Amino acid sequence: MLFYRTLLMSDSLEALIHAVDAADSSTSLLKAVHNLSEAGLEGAIPTLISALSYNNPGAAVAAVNGLVKIGEPAVPAILEQLDGHNYTARAWAIRALAGIGDPRGLTTLLGAATADFAMSVRRAAAKGLGSLKWHQFAEDESEIAQAEAMDALLFVCDDEEWVVRYAAVAALQSLAGVIWHLYPDWQSPILAKFEQMATQDSVWAVRARVWMAQQQLQTLLGLEKATSISEEPRNEIFANWGSTLENLYRRKAQERPFPEGDPRRFRGLAASLTSQNDV
């Protein structure tokens, strides 16, 4: 009985993979990747990883969901096949690692969050550092790993891109919920960073996310107040949350007329270097 069930699964997997390979439109590709992801079969891992590099965001989302559904067995292949040249595929792969939360992804997430040139990759990695499955770390490795994650997130809180800082704040809050009572000495740098961002960050969405984190941490600390920030600006931001984010995304689009990696972004620099060489 088990033999026939295995054979049936094998035939089903082959048909699902064939549908992805034979897709002749973005719609059919999305449907095929979605169906393959839903199956949750380990044999689908290579095809799902390949789908991360297709120029089809919907298919990439479906592939990420499929890899997360498969879980830990997908981690080695994701780590081995991280695309160093295609930042979009790399961002999707990092999202899959973050969703799985496997300890083996820690080193990759640390490097991507703090040093990757692509904003989308740094953002995905920062989010992942806040959702690792800490209970799966070896007892003698857990404290070191959490300290490295905290240091990285504190660093990323100063990222030049506000969406990356936003992700770092959310991740740092999540990490704090795990370590808060284990390592009381770690509270000070987190609270200090949040206090700084709550008053100095240039983007209201980030400040609002910091305030939310402070409120959660104040509950952990059992304090009536975790910050001296007035409630008035907080209430104003939260009351207009939707319009605030819409305006911020519109402004970010204006700041980035070309996507990451577009050679047109570097024309000015190239012209400048050429003129210097002509002198």
Contact 204, 248 (CB under 8 A): yes
Query: 103-137, pLDDT tens digit by residue?
Result: 999 999 999 999 999 999 999 999 999 989 999 99
The domain defined by 13-100 folds into Leucine-rich Repeat Variant (1.25.10)
- pLDDT at residue number 77: 94
Question: What would the two tokens of residue 100 be?
Answer: 């799985």
**Residues of the chain scoring pLDDT < 70:** 1-11, 221-279
Packing angle, helices 87-100 and 119-129, rounded to 10? 10
Euclidean distance between CA atoms 66 and 33, whole angstroms:
9
Euclidean distance between CA atoms 164 and 159, whole angstroms:
6
Q: Read off the DSSP letter of residue 185.
A: G
**Residue at 113: amino acid letter:** A
Euclidean distance between CA atoms 16 and 34, whole angstroms:
10
Instruction: Tell me the three-class secondary structure of 109-123, residue by residue.
Output: HHHHHHHCCCHHHHH
Exposure letters 39-75 (e unless 16+ CB within 10 A, then b): bebebbbebbbebbbbebeebbbbbbbbbbbbeeebb
Exposure letters 205-220 (e unless 16+ CB within 10 A, then b): bbbbbbbebbeebeee
- pLDDT at residue number 255: 52
- pLDDT at residue number 224: 41
Q: Read off the DSSP letter of residue 241.
A: H
Query: 267-277, pLDDT tens digit by residue?
Result: 454 455 445 54
Question: What would the two tokens of residue 102 be?
Answer: 């496997």
- pLDDT at residue number 81: 84
- pLDDT at residue number 279: 46
Euclidean distance between CA atoms 53 and 9, whole angstroms:
26
Euclidean distance between CA atoms 119 and 117, whole angstroms:
6
- pLDDT at residue number 182: 86
Contact 124, 153 (CB under 8 A): no
Return the domain boundaries, the chain. Answer: 13-100
- pLDDT at residue number 247: 58
Contact 89, 55 (CB under 8 A): no
Euclidean distance between CA atoms 151 and 189, whole angstroms:
9
Mean pLDDT of the chain: 82
- pLDDT at residue number 125: 95
Each as own residue / partner, the long-range contacts of residues 6-13 (CB below 8 Å, 24 or more positions apart, any chain) are 9/41, 10/43, 12/39, 12/41, 13/39, 13/41, 13/43, 13/44
